[in-house]
Amino acid sequence: MVDSLATWRLDFGAPKQTVVFASAQQKLPTVVYSGSALPADARLVDYALADQRPVPMGTLDQIAPLSILPEEGRGFPGYCGLNISDGDGRPAMTQFTLDEVNIDAQGIVFEAIDQRLGLRLMLRFQVAQNSDVLAINSELINHGDTRWRVDWLSIPVMPVHPSFTHRQEYRGRWTQEFTPLRAAIEHGVHVRESRRARTGHDHFPGLIVGEAPLAFTRGRSAALHYAYSGLHRVVLESMSDGRKHVQAGVAESRWLEPGAQVHSGDGYWTFSSEGLNGIAHRFQSWVKDHIVDLSLEQTPRYVNYNCWEAIYFTHTIDRLKGLADSAAEVGAEQFVLDDGWFGTASIPRNDDTSSLGDWFIDAFKYPEGLTPLVEHVNKLGMRFGIWFEPEMVNLNSELATTHPDWVLTHGDIEHVAGRQQFLLDLSNPEVTEYLFERIDEMLSAHNIEYIKWDMNRDATQAVDADGHRSLVRHNDAVYNLMRRIRQAHPKVEIESCASGGGRIDYRVLQNTQRVWLSDSIDARVRWKMQSEAFVFIPPSVYGSHVGAEQSHTSARIQPMAFRALVAMTGHMGIESDMAELIEADRDTLVRYIKLYKKHRSWMHTGKHYRLDATQPENLSQLFVSQDQKQFLLFSGTLEVPLDETIAALPLVGLDAHADYNVTLVNKDDVSAMATREFLHPIMTQDNARMSGAQLMLQGLVLPFPMPDSLWLVHGERNA
C-alpha cells in the first residue's frame, strides 16, 4: 500500500500552518492533517498511514475516503461534494483519478479526470505570502458530449479535527445581524443556506468549529468563510463513523454544457491555536491585504456623515447645507446624500413607493441640480457621497413604464413585492448598460467620491424572460457592474449595504471598500454585533455611526459618550439630526471624533481583540498597535452588574516586558451613584504605570459602571 501512496504538504502563514494531503492508488487526495506547522522533516507517509481507521462489523468492506471532493461513485455514504446528472436525471457516478499535481509558490492544484464521463476536475489550494488563510475552490470542466446538470459542486472539502466538538455560526434579521449561534456538533448533516440572492441577515456565510468552550483568547479552532453574495450553502456533517467535514458552494442548479466549466466559488479556511481572536487576526489581515482594494495604511477612514435619519425623503437645499455645516463643525470629513434625491417631474421620490430606476436628479428638490450642494460640501473640506439602489425598480417609475420587460416578473403568476419594489433583470445586458450610463453620468458630472450601494429586498421568484433561474447571473452582473464603475472612476469608494448587513462577504468586498453592518445604530445592539462581526470583517471596513439620542429602530435612549465610543471602534460616522444636539453632547461628540482621528491609523493596522468576559454583563474590545507601543481598551457594560464590585479584566497582546502609562480617558464619566470610592492608580493618578505582564496576568480593575456605558483606557509604552 505504501508504494501506491503519494503525499504532499502545503506550508503557509506566519506563524506557519501545514496541510498534508495523501492519495492512494491515484484517487482524489484526502487531507490527513491540517493545523499548526509540522516540522520540516516530518514523515508525511506516517501521517497518511496513521489516518487509517478500523473496519467494524456491519459496514462496507472498505471505508470510503473522505476526499477533498467525496464521491458517491467511490461509495461515500455521506454528503457528497459533487452531485450531477444528465438531462434525463441519471446521476453521474464519478470516479476521478489524479492526472496532474502542480505545486508552486502559490499553492497546490490537483487535476483529476474521469475519462468515462469526459469530466476534468480542478481542486485549488492557494496561499499568499505571510498569510495564514488558505483560499480554496473547485472547477468542473466538461470535455465530453453530454450536457450535465450540476446540482452541487463544493469547494474542496476540509475535515474537522476530532477534538473540535462545537460550532459557531450567525443568525439574525433586519437590525439584528451577527447574532451568534453556538452549539455542539451533533451527528448528521447540518446545513445553513441562503436563497435570497444576497447573503441575508439570517445566514452570514461563515462557520467556526473548535474545542469547547469556544473562547476568544484561548483554544484551538478553525473557520471557513464562503465568499459569495447569495444562494450559498454551508454544510457541516458529522458522520456515523465519527468523521466530520465542512463544505460550501452555490445553492442553485446550473447546466454544464460540452466545452464549458462550472466554478464552486471561493472559500477561505484558517486555523488558530489562540482562540477566536486568532481566527479574527488571520481573516482581518486577509481582507485588508488581499480582498479590499484600499490601502488602509495610506488612506484614513474618513469620518462619515449620512443624512438619512436626519431628513429621510424630505430634501431641501438649505436644510442639507445646514446639516453639512454642522457635520463639518464636529469633524466629519465626508457627507453622504442618501435616498430621495432622484425622480422625475411626474413621479417624484417622496417615499419608498416610487421612482426607483429613474436615476435623474429631482428638479423640484434641486432646481439647480446637485452642483450647489456638492460644491458647498467640498468648500467645507468634505468629500461628497451619494446613495444608489441600482438593482431595484418601483413599478411606479418611468423606467418600469418604458421598459416593463426589464422587471424581473416573469409569467402570469402573482408576484410579491418587497418594500414596494422589484428586481431589475440584470441578466439582460441592456439593463446593466442603462445602469452604468446613469451612474457614470452622475459621477462624471459631479465631484462624487463615494457610493452607498443599497439592496433593500430579497430576490424571490427570480427567473428571466425565458423562464430560467437567474440569481447566479444576477450576482455575477452586480459584481461586473461594480467593477466597471470602479474602473471608470477608480477614486470612488463603494459601500455595500443591503437593508444593513444583508450582503456582506469577501466576494462583494472585492469590489467595495466598506460594508454597512446594520440599519440599527442603537449603540447597545451595535456593540454586541460588532463584537461578533470582527472575527470575519476588519473594524476599518464596517461602518459604525453615532445615531440619535433615541434610537430610530429600538426607541432606546442612550448617552452620547456611549454612542460615540461604540462608533469609534469601527469606521466612524454620524447619522442623526445635528440640529437636535445639545451643547454638551456636541462637545462630547467633537472630543471622541478627535480621539478617533488621533488613533485611527494604528487602530486600523494593528491587532484587534475581544476579551473573554470576567463578568456576564461585560463585553470588551482591545486595539493594540503593531509595534505594541499603544493600546486602547473599550470595556462595555450592557446591563446592571450582578456582582457587588468589579473584577479585574485581563488584557492580551501587549509587550510583557514593557511598562505602560495607563490612562482612564473618560474619567469624567465615573458616577458617584455607581462608584463611591475607587483608589486604583488609574483614578488617583493621571498616568498609572503598569507593566504589560501585570495587565495581562493580573488584569485591570475599572470603576463600577452604569449600564449602556463604555470605559476607554489608553496605554502607551513608557520610553
User: What is the per-residue pLDDT for 12?
Assistant: 94
Span 122-140, mean pLDDT? 96
H helical segments located in 82-184: none
Taking only Cα atoms into account, the Rg of the chain, rounded to an integer number of angstroms, comes to 27
Mean pLDDT of the chain: 95
Query: Of 358, 454, 612, 669, which residue is the catalytic one?
Result: 454
Mind listing the pLDDT tens digit for each residue in 598-623?
A: 999 999 999 999 999 889 999 999 99
- The DSSP secondary structure of 467-504, one letter per residue, reads S-B-HHHHHHHHHHHHHHHHHHSTT-EEEE-BTTBSS-
User: What is the per-residue pLDDT for 396?
Assistant: 97
Residue 297 has pLDDT above 70, yes or no: no
Q: Determine whether 425 is an active site residue.
A: no
Least confident of 54-63, 275-284, 496-505, 647-656: 54-63
Give, in order, the Cα–Cα distances in Å from 686 to each of 593, 625, 655, 692, 696.
22, 22, 22, 18, 21
Span 675-701, mean pLDDT? 95
Banded pLDDT at 298 (limits 50, 70, 90): low
Cell of 531: 463584537
Percent of the chain with pLDDT over 70: 99
Question: What region does 422 belong to: left with phi over 0, alpha with psi -120 to 50, or beta?
Answer: beta
Span 363-372, mean pLDDT? 97
Mind listing the pLDDT tens digit for each residue in 635-675?
A: 999 999 999 999 999 999 999 999 999 999 999 999 888 89
459 compared with 558, residue with greater pLDDT: 558
Banded pLDDT at 120 (limits 50, 70, 90): very high
Instruction: Report pTM.
Output: 0.96
459 compared with 261, residue with greater pLDDT: 261
**Cis-peptide into 156, omega within 30 deg:** no
Q: Please give the DSSP secondary-structure letter assigned to residue 289.
A: I
Span 671-696, mean pLDDT? 93
Query: Would you call 216 helix, strand, or coil by DSSP?
Result: coil
User: What is the per-residue pLDDT for 359?
Assistant: 98
Q: Determine whether 51 is an active site residue.
A: no
Residue 296 has pLDDT above 70, yes or no: no
User: What is the per-residue pLDDT for 610?
Assistant: 98
Alpha carbon distance 365, 354 (integer Å): 16
Query: Of 519, 522, 612, 708, which residue is the catalytic one?
Result: 519
Strand locations in 424-477, DSSP E?
Answer: 450-453
Which structural domains are found in the chain, ordered by start? 68-291 (2.70.98.60), 304-600 (3.20.20.70), 609-717 (2.60.40.1180)
By DSSP bridging, strand 266-272 and strand 450-453 are unpaired
Cα–Cα nearest to 534, from 654, 650, 620: 620
User: What is the per-residue pLDDT for 1?
Assistant: 45
